Amino acid sequence: MNCRKVVVVVGLLGSFVLGSAVGAAVMLFRTVPASATSLASLDLERSGTDAYVKYRYGSYEVAKAALLEHAQRLSTPEAAANPLVGPGAEVDLGLTYGRLAIAAERADNEKDAADYMLLATQTVFIEGQQARESQVRMMVTRLDEAWDRRLAGTAKHP
Q: What is the pLDDT of residues 1-15, one digit of tens each?
A: 577 877 777 777 777
List, for residues 77-128, the tens digit of each pLDDT value.
777 777 666 667 788 889 999 999 999 999 999 999 999 999 999 988 888 8
Give this prediction's pTM: 0.72
Q: How far, CA to CA in Å, does 84 sit from each of 48, 75, 125, 127?
A: 14, 15, 20, 22
* Residue 67: closest CA among 36, 29, 107: 107
pLDDT value of residue 157: 46
Instruction: Check: CB of residue 68 under 8 Å from CB of residue 47.
Output: no
In whole angstroms, give the CA distance from residue 67 to residue 51: 5
Q: Return the number of other C-beta atoms located less than 10 Å from residue 56's C-beta.
A: 14
Check residue 152 and give its pLDDT. Answer: 81
d(CA 110, CA 54): 20
Q: What is the pLDDT of residue 118?
A: 95
User: What's residue 75's pLDDT?
Assistant: 85
Q: What is the pLDDT of residues 115-153, one digit of tens each?
A: 999 999 998 888 888 889 999 999 999 999 988 888 887
CA distances from 137 to 34, 36, 85 (A): 36, 34, 23
Alpha helix locations (H) across 1-158? Answer: 2-57, 60-74, 77-81, 88-106, 110-123, 133-156
* pLDDT at 31 (0 to 100): 59
